[in-house]
Chains A and B, each alone.
Chain A
Protein backbone atom coordinates (compact mmCIF):
# COMPACT_ATOMS: atom_id res chain seq x y z
CA UNK A 1 0.00 0.00 0.00
CA UNK A 2 0.98 3.61 -0.51
CA UNK A 3 0.47 6.69 1.68
CA UNK A 4 1.45 10.31 1.59
CA UNK A 5 4.03 11.20 4.25
CA UNK A 6 3.00 14.44 5.92
CA UNK A 7 6.30 15.54 7.44
CA UNK A 8 5.32 18.75 9.24
CA UNK A 9 7.68 21.35 10.67
CA UNK A 10 9.05 19.94 13.92
CA UNK A 11 10.00 16.62 12.39
CA UNK A 12 11.58 18.14 9.31
CA UNK A 13 13.64 20.80 11.07
CA UNK A 14 13.95 19.76 14.70
CA UNK A 15 14.14 16.00 14.49
CA UNK A 16 14.98 14.92 10.94
CA UNK A 17 16.26 11.69 12.51
CA UNK A 18 12.60 10.90 13.21
CA UNK A 19 11.78 11.69 9.58
CA UNK A 20 14.52 9.30 8.55
CA UNK A 21 13.10 6.66 10.92
CA UNK A 22 9.72 6.91 9.19
CA UNK A 23 11.36 6.72 5.78
CA UNK A 24 13.05 3.52 6.91
CA UNK A 25 10.36 1.77 8.97
CA UNK A 26 7.26 2.17 6.83
CA UNK A 27 8.78 0.88 3.57
CA UNK A 28 10.37 -1.96 5.56
CA UNK A 29 6.85 -3.00 6.50
CA UNK A 30 5.67 -2.73 2.90
CA UNK A 31 4.21 0.76 3.04
CA UNK A 32 5.35 2.91 0.14
CA UNK A 33 5.72 6.63 0.94
CA UNK A 34 4.76 9.47 -1.33
CA UNK A 35 6.36 12.86 -0.66
CA UNK A 36 3.28 14.99 -1.41
CA UNK A 37 5.58 17.58 -2.96
CA UNK A 38 4.70 21.11 -2.00
CA UNK A 39 3.06 20.25 1.33
CA UNK A 40 3.19 22.93 3.99
CA UNK A 41 2.63 23.50 7.68
CA UNK A 42 -0.63 21.88 8.85
CA UNK A 43 -1.04 24.90 9.97
CA UNK A 44 -0.34 24.62 13.63
CA UNK A 45 -2.66 25.94 16.34
CA UNK A 46 -0.84 29.10 17.31
CA UNK A 47 -0.85 30.39 13.74
CA UNK A 48 -3.84 30.60 11.42
CA UNK A 49 -6.28 28.66 13.61
CA UNK A 50 -5.87 31.44 16.14
CA UNK A 51 -6.50 34.15 13.56
CA UNK A 52 -8.96 33.02 10.98
CA UNK A 53 -11.13 29.91 10.92
CA UNK A 54 -11.53 29.82 7.15
CA UNK A 55 -7.84 30.50 6.59
CA UNK A 56 -6.93 27.62 8.90
CA UNK A 57 -9.17 25.25 7.03
CA UNK A 58 -7.98 26.53 3.65
CA UNK A 59 -4.35 25.77 4.40
CA UNK A 60 -5.30 22.36 5.79
CA UNK A 61 -7.52 21.75 2.79
CA UNK A 62 -4.64 22.52 0.44
CA UNK A 63 -2.60 19.78 2.08
CA UNK A 64 -5.55 17.41 1.83
CA UNK A 65 -6.00 18.35 -1.82
CA UNK A 66 -2.42 17.26 -2.57
CA UNK A 67 -3.21 13.83 -1.14
CA UNK A 68 -6.63 13.65 -2.77
CA UNK A 69 -5.16 14.37 -6.18
CA UNK A 70 -3.03 11.26 -5.75
CA UNK A 71 -5.80 9.25 -4.14
CA UNK A 72 -3.79 8.72 -0.97
CA UNK A 73 -4.28 8.96 2.77
CA UNK A 74 -1.71 10.95 4.73
CA UNK A 75 0.40 9.67 7.61
CA UNK A 76 2.06 11.87 10.21
CA UNK A 77 4.18 11.33 13.31
CA UNK A 78 3.29 14.73 14.76
CA UNK A 79 0.31 15.10 17.06
CA UNK A 80 -0.24 18.75 16.22
CA UNK A 81 -0.31 18.08 12.49
CA UNK A 82 -2.66 15.19 13.12
CA UNK A 83 -4.94 17.26 15.31
CA UNK A 84 -4.99 20.39 13.18
CA UNK A 85 -5.61 18.53 9.93
CA UNK A 86 -8.17 16.14 11.40
CA UNK A 87 -10.06 18.94 13.05
CA UNK A 88 -10.10 21.22 10.03
CA UNK A 89 -11.35 18.35 7.86
CA UNK A 90 -14.05 17.52 10.40
CA UNK A 91 -15.17 21.13 10.43
CA UNK A 92 -15.33 21.36 6.66
CA UNK A 93 -17.27 18.13 6.33
CA UNK A 94 -19.81 19.23 8.92
CA UNK A 95 -20.21 22.79 7.74
CA UNK A 96 -21.04 23.02 4.03
CA UNK A 97 -20.80 26.79 4.11
CA UNK A 98 -17.26 26.62 5.47
CA UNK A 99 -16.31 24.01 2.90
CA UNK A 100 -17.68 26.18 0.13
CA UNK A 101 -15.76 29.19 1.43
CA UNK A 102 -12.55 27.18 1.54
CA UNK A 103 -13.07 25.82 -1.94
CA UNK A 104 -13.69 29.30 -3.25
CA UNK A 105 -10.20 30.17 -1.98
CA UNK A 106 -8.65 26.97 -3.34
CA UNK A 107 -10.24 27.50 -6.72
CA UNK A 108 -7.89 30.39 -7.37
CA UNK A 109 -4.91 28.09 -7.08
CA UNK A 110 -6.65 25.44 -9.12
CA UNK A 111 -7.31 23.01 -6.29
CA UNK A 112 -10.34 21.60 -4.53
CA UNK A 113 -11.00 19.99 -1.18
CA UNK A 114 -13.33 17.02 -1.46
CA UNK A 115 -12.80 15.25 1.83
CA UNK A 116 -11.82 11.91 0.33
CA UNK A 117 -8.39 11.55 1.97
CA UNK A 118 -7.77 10.86 5.64
CA UNK A 119 -5.02 12.03 7.92
CA UNK A 120 -3.68 9.08 9.93
CA UNK A 121 -1.49 9.01 13.03
CA UNK A 122 1.49 6.75 12.19
CA UNK A 123 1.24 4.41 15.18
CA UNK A 124 -2.50 3.92 14.91
CA UNK A 125 -2.10 3.56 11.15
CA UNK A 126 0.40 0.73 11.55
CA UNK A 127 -1.68 -0.86 14.28
CA UNK A 128 -4.66 -1.04 11.98
CA UNK A 129 -3.01 -1.68 8.62
CA UNK A 130 -0.08 -3.94 9.61
CA UNK A 131 -1.02 -5.11 13.08
CA UNK A 132 1.18 -6.04 16.05
CA UNK A 133 1.62 -9.60 14.86
CA UNK A 134 3.00 -8.77 11.43
CA UNK A 135 5.27 -6.14 12.95
CA UNK A 136 6.53 -8.60 15.56
CA UNK A 137 7.38 -11.07 12.82
CA UNK A 138 9.39 -8.52 10.80
CA UNK A 139 11.80 -7.52 13.56
CA UNK A 140 15.57 -7.92 13.49
CA UNK A 141 15.99 -6.88 17.09
CA UNK A 142 13.55 -7.27 19.92
CA UNK A 143 13.01 -5.31 23.13
CA UNK A 144 12.58 -8.30 25.42
CA UNK A 145 13.33 -7.36 29.00
CA UNK A 146 12.99 -3.63 28.33
CA UNK A 147 10.46 -1.58 30.25
CA UNK A 148 9.09 1.48 28.54
CA UNK A 149 6.73 4.29 29.56
CA UNK A 150 4.39 5.37 26.77
CA UNK A 151 3.25 8.89 25.96
CA UNK A 152 0.61 8.68 23.21
CA UNK A 153 0.09 12.46 23.13
CA UNK A 154 -3.12 14.39 23.55
CA UNK A 155 -3.69 14.92 19.85
CA UNK A 156 -4.18 11.28 19.04
CA UNK A 157 -6.86 11.08 21.74
CA UNK A 158 -9.06 14.14 21.87
CA UNK A 159 -11.54 15.14 20.58
CA UNK A 160 -12.23 11.56 19.58
CA UNK A 161 -15.02 12.54 17.16
CA UNK A 162 -12.57 14.05 14.65
CA UNK A 163 -10.27 11.08 14.23
CA UNK A 164 -10.54 8.25 11.75
CA UNK A 165 -9.12 5.61 14.10
CA UNK A 166 -11.33 6.14 17.09
CA UNK A 167 -11.50 2.55 18.33
CA UNK A 168 -9.34 3.54 21.29
CA UNK A 169 -10.90 4.41 24.60
CA UNK A 170 -9.24 7.81 24.62
CA UNK A 171 -9.08 7.90 28.42
CA UNK A 172 -7.35 4.52 28.54
CA UNK A 173 -5.34 4.35 25.33
CA UNK A 174 -3.94 0.91 24.62
CA UNK A 175 -2.63 1.05 21.06
CA UNK A 176 0.83 2.46 21.81
CA UNK A 177 1.24 0.04 24.72
CA UNK A 178 0.29 -2.88 22.52
CA UNK A 179 2.58 -1.68 19.76
CA UNK A 180 5.49 -1.54 22.23
CA UNK A 181 4.58 -4.99 23.46
CA UNK A 182 4.73 -6.16 19.83
CA UNK A 183 8.40 -5.17 19.86
CA UNK A 184 8.90 -7.27 22.99
CA UNK A 185 8.93 -4.48 25.56
CA UNK A 186 6.86 -4.30 28.68
CA UNK A 187 4.79 -1.10 28.58
CA UNK A 188 2.92 -0.86 31.86
CA UNK A 189 0.13 1.54 32.79
CA UNK A 190 0.97 4.54 34.94
CA UNK A 191 -1.52 6.90 36.46
CA UNK A 192 -0.59 10.05 34.52
CA UNK A 193 -0.37 8.32 31.18
CA UNK A 194 -2.82 10.66 29.47
CA UNK A 195 -1.39 13.82 31.06
CA UNK A 196 -0.13 16.53 28.78
CA UNK A 197 3.66 16.95 28.30
CA UNK A 198 3.52 20.74 28.23
CA UNK A 199 4.96 21.31 24.76
CA UNK A 200 3.42 23.67 22.23
CA UNK A 201 1.80 26.98 23.05
CA UNK A 202 2.51 26.57 26.71
CA UNK A 203 6.25 26.07 26.28
CA UNK A 204 6.46 29.11 23.99
CA UNK A 205 4.47 31.22 26.44
CA UNK A 206 5.97 30.18 29.75
CA UNK A 207 8.69 27.58 29.77
CA UNK A 208 8.82 27.32 33.54
CA UNK A 209 5.16 26.47 33.86
CA UNK A 210 5.46 24.10 30.96
CA UNK A 211 8.24 22.21 32.73
CA UNK A 212 6.01 21.91 35.79
CA UNK A 213 3.79 19.59 33.78
CA UNK A 214 6.75 17.54 32.54
CA UNK A 215 7.96 17.25 36.07
CA UNK A 216 4.67 15.87 37.37
CA UNK A 217 4.54 13.48 34.47
CA UNK A 218 8.14 12.32 34.85
CA UNK A 219 7.64 11.79 38.58
CA UNK A 220 4.68 9.53 37.93
CA UNK A 221 6.69 7.62 35.31
CA UNK A 222 9.77 7.27 37.48
CA UNK A 223 7.93 6.31 40.67
CA UNK A 224 5.36 3.98 39.18
CA UNK A 225 7.38 2.27 36.41
CA UNK A 226 11.05 3.36 36.48
CA UNK A 227 11.40 2.52 32.79
CA UNK A 228 14.45 2.12 30.56
CA UNK A 229 12.93 4.37 27.95
CA UNK A 230 10.04 6.72 27.27
CA UNK A 231 8.28 6.09 23.97
CA UNK A 232 6.12 8.80 22.43
CA UNK A 233 3.56 8.69 19.69
CA UNK A 234 4.00 12.36 18.90
CA UNK A 235 7.01 14.37 17.72
CA UNK A 236 6.15 17.33 19.96
CA UNK A 237 6.02 15.13 23.05
CA UNK A 238 9.34 13.69 21.87
CA UNK A 239 10.98 17.09 21.72
CA UNK A 240 9.56 18.20 25.07
CA UNK A 241 10.44 15.07 27.01
CA UNK A 242 13.83 14.79 25.30
CA UNK A 243 14.92 18.36 25.95
CA UNK A 244 13.21 19.25 29.23
CA UNK A 245 15.08 16.74 31.34
CA UNK A 246 18.38 18.61 30.99
CA UNK A 247 16.74 21.81 32.29
CA UNK A 248 15.12 19.98 35.16
CA UNK A 249 18.43 18.34 36.05
CA UNK A 250 20.15 21.69 35.97
CA UNK A 251 17.54 23.13 38.34
CA UNK A 252 17.99 20.00 40.47
CA UNK A 253 14.37 19.14 40.17
CA UNK A 254 15.25 15.65 39.01
CA UNK A 255 18.35 13.58 39.49
CA UNK A 256 17.80 11.11 36.69
CA UNK A 257 17.52 11.04 32.93
CA UNK A 258 15.26 8.71 31.02
CA UNK A 259 16.06 8.33 27.32
CA UNK A 260 13.22 9.28 24.99
CA UNK A 261 12.39 8.02 21.49
CA UNK A 262 9.42 8.29 19.18
CA UNK A 263 7.81 4.95 18.48
CA UNK A 264 8.81 5.14 14.83
CA UNK A 265 12.45 5.51 15.86
CA UNK A 266 12.19 2.49 18.11
CA UNK A 267 10.51 0.51 15.38
CA UNK A 268 13.11 1.49 12.78
CA UNK A 269 15.77 0.42 15.24
CA UNK A 270 14.15 -2.98 15.72
CA UNK A 271 13.86 -3.32 11.95
CA UNK A 272 17.64 -2.82 11.65
CA UNK A 273 18.10 0.82 10.70
CA UNK A 274 21.35 2.67 11.26
CA UNK A 275 21.00 4.02 14.82
CA UNK A 276 22.94 7.19 14.04
CA UNK A 277 20.59 8.15 11.19
CA UNK A 278 17.39 7.54 13.06
CA UNK A 279 18.19 8.58 16.63
CA UNK A 280 21.27 10.72 16.15
CA UNK A 281 19.68 14.02 17.22
CA UNK A 282 18.38 12.89 20.62
CA UNK A 283 19.45 15.09 23.53
CA UNK A 284 18.89 12.37 26.09
CA UNK A 285 21.39 9.60 26.13
CA UNK A 286 19.71 6.97 24.01
CA UNK A 287 22.87 5.13 23.01
CA UNK A 288 22.84 2.75 25.96
CA UNK A 289 19.33 1.63 25.18
CA UNK A 290 20.19 1.46 21.49
CA UNK A 291 23.23 -0.66 22.15
CA UNK A 292 21.29 -2.91 24.46
CA UNK A 293 18.61 -3.43 21.83
CA UNK A 294 21.13 -4.21 19.12
CA UNK A 295 23.16 -6.40 21.43
CA UNK A 296 26.05 -4.02 20.89
CA UNK A 297 26.45 -3.40 24.59
CA UNK A 298 29.85 -5.01 24.79
CA UNK A 299 31.28 -3.51 21.64
Chain B
Protein backbone atom coordinates (compact mmCIF):
# COMPACT_ATOMS: atom_id res chain seq x y z
CA UNK B 1 0.00 0.00 0.00
CA UNK B 2 1.30 3.43 -0.86
CA UNK B 3 1.54 5.76 2.10
CA UNK B 4 -0.36 8.41 0.22
CA UNK B 5 -3.35 6.08 -0.05
CA UNK B 6 -3.29 5.20 3.60
CA UNK B 7 -5.71 6.79 6.00
CA UNK B 8 -5.53 5.64 9.59
CA UNK B 9 -8.15 3.47 11.23
CA UNK B 10 -8.70 4.70 14.75
CA UNK B 11 -10.89 3.11 17.39
CA UNK B 12 -12.13 5.30 20.22
CA UNK B 13 -13.72 3.81 23.31
CA UNK B 14 -15.90 6.59 24.63
CA UNK B 15 -17.52 6.78 28.02
CA UNK B 16 -21.24 7.33 27.61
CA UNK B 17 -21.35 10.18 30.11
CA UNK B 18 -18.58 12.42 28.93
CA UNK B 19 -16.48 11.66 25.86
CA UNK B 20 -19.44 10.21 23.95
CA UNK B 21 -21.40 13.35 24.83
CA UNK B 22 -18.40 15.47 23.92
CA UNK B 23 -18.38 13.80 20.51
CA UNK B 24 -22.08 14.54 20.09
CA UNK B 25 -21.45 18.13 21.07
CA UNK B 26 -18.55 18.42 18.64
CA UNK B 27 -20.93 17.31 15.93
CA UNK B 28 -23.76 19.59 16.90
CA UNK B 29 -21.37 22.53 17.02
CA UNK B 30 -20.00 21.37 13.65
CA UNK B 31 -16.41 21.09 14.79
CA UNK B 32 -14.65 19.01 12.19
CA UNK B 33 -12.22 16.19 12.77
CA UNK B 34 -11.04 13.34 10.56
CA UNK B 35 -13.57 10.60 9.72
CA UNK B 36 -10.94 8.02 10.64
CA UNK B 37 -12.28 8.23 14.19
CA UNK B 38 -14.65 5.34 15.01
CA UNK B 39 -16.40 5.40 18.35
CA UNK B 40 -17.53 2.45 20.41
CA UNK B 41 -19.82 3.49 23.22
CA UNK B 42 -19.11 2.04 26.65
CA UNK B 43 -20.88 2.92 29.87
CA UNK B 44 -17.67 3.96 31.60
CA UNK B 45 -13.97 4.05 30.85
CA UNK B 46 -13.74 1.61 33.78
CA UNK B 47 -15.58 -0.97 31.69
CA UNK B 48 -12.86 -1.08 29.09
CA UNK B 49 -10.88 -4.30 29.15
CA UNK B 50 -7.22 -4.28 28.09
CA UNK B 51 -8.17 -7.00 25.61
CA UNK B 52 -10.38 -4.50 23.75
CA UNK B 53 -7.46 -2.20 23.12
CA UNK B 54 -5.02 -4.93 22.15
CA UNK B 55 -7.55 -6.70 20.04
CA UNK B 56 -8.19 -3.51 18.08
CA UNK B 57 -4.45 -3.14 17.55
CA UNK B 58 -4.07 -6.77 16.63
CA UNK B 59 -6.86 -6.39 14.12
CA UNK B 60 -4.89 -3.62 12.50
CA UNK B 61 -6.32 -0.45 14.05
CA UNK B 62 -3.63 2.19 13.75
CA UNK B 63 -4.52 3.94 16.96
CA UNK B 64 -6.73 3.37 19.97
CA UNK B 65 -7.99 6.11 22.24
CA UNK B 66 -9.79 5.72 25.53
CA UNK B 67 -11.95 8.70 26.45
CA UNK B 68 -13.20 9.09 29.99
CA UNK B 69 -14.52 11.67 32.43
CA UNK B 70 -12.12 14.06 34.07
CA UNK B 71 -10.78 12.79 37.40
CA UNK B 72 -13.38 13.43 40.05
CA UNK B 73 -16.19 13.64 37.50
CA UNK B 74 -16.88 9.94 36.93
CA UNK B 75 -20.57 9.20 36.64
CA UNK B 76 -19.87 6.00 38.55
CA UNK B 77 -17.68 7.73 41.11
CA UNK B 78 -14.35 6.12 40.31
CA UNK B 79 -14.50 4.08 37.13
CA UNK B 80 -12.01 6.41 35.50
CA UNK B 81 -9.58 5.79 38.37
CA UNK B 82 -9.63 2.12 37.44
CA UNK B 83 -9.31 2.99 33.78
CA UNK B 84 -6.17 5.07 34.25
CA UNK B 85 -4.45 2.38 36.31
CA UNK B 86 -5.24 -0.30 33.75
CA UNK B 87 -4.30 1.95 30.90
CA UNK B 88 -0.97 2.93 32.38
CA UNK B 89 -0.04 -0.65 33.21
CA UNK B 90 -1.18 -1.81 29.80
CA UNK B 91 0.86 0.92 28.19
CA UNK B 92 3.92 -0.32 29.99
CA UNK B 93 3.22 -3.82 28.74
CA UNK B 94 2.58 -2.61 25.20
CA UNK B 95 5.73 -0.55 24.99
CA UNK B 96 7.61 -3.53 26.40
CA UNK B 97 6.15 -5.52 23.53
CA UNK B 98 7.41 -2.97 21.05
CA UNK B 99 4.17 -1.10 20.35
CA UNK B 100 4.77 2.62 19.83
CA UNK B 101 3.55 4.46 22.90
CA UNK B 102 1.82 7.05 20.73
CA UNK B 103 -0.57 4.46 19.27
CA UNK B 104 -2.61 4.28 22.42
CA UNK B 105 -3.86 7.25 24.29
CA UNK B 106 -6.05 8.05 27.27
CA UNK B 107 -7.82 11.40 27.35
CA UNK B 108 -10.30 12.96 29.72
CA UNK B 109 -12.92 14.74 27.64
CA UNK B 110 -16.08 15.93 29.30
CA UNK B 111 -19.53 16.23 27.76
CA UNK B 112 -19.12 19.96 27.47
CA UNK B 113 -15.79 19.79 25.69
CA UNK B 114 -17.00 19.47 22.12
CA UNK B 115 -14.24 21.63 20.79
CA UNK B 116 -11.65 19.74 22.75
CA UNK B 117 -13.01 16.44 21.46
CA UNK B 118 -12.49 17.62 17.90
CA UNK B 119 -9.06 19.00 18.70
CA UNK B 120 -7.89 15.86 20.45
CA UNK B 121 -9.15 13.64 17.63
CA UNK B 122 -7.54 15.81 14.97
CA UNK B 123 -4.30 15.80 16.87
CA UNK B 124 -4.41 12.04 17.47
CA UNK B 125 -5.09 11.38 13.81
CA UNK B 126 -2.13 13.60 12.93
CA UNK B 127 0.11 11.84 15.46
CA UNK B 128 -0.90 8.44 14.08
CA UNK B 129 -0.21 9.58 10.55
CA UNK B 130 3.21 10.63 11.72
CA UNK B 131 4.12 7.20 13.09
CA UNK B 132 2.58 5.44 10.13
CA UNK B 133 0.49 2.27 9.74
CA UNK B 134 0.27 -0.24 12.54
CA UNK B 135 2.70 -3.05 11.73
CA UNK B 136 0.82 -5.57 13.87
CA UNK B 137 -1.20 -7.89 11.76
CA UNK B 138 0.65 -6.74 8.68
CA UNK B 139 3.84 -8.67 9.29
CA UNK B 140 2.38 -11.93 10.59
CA UNK B 141 2.93 -10.88 14.14
CA UNK B 142 0.02 -12.87 15.42
A and B touch in the complex (CB under 8 A): no
What is the interface of chain A, defined by CB distance below 8 A to chain B? none
What is the interface of chain B, defined by CB distance below 8 A to chain A? none
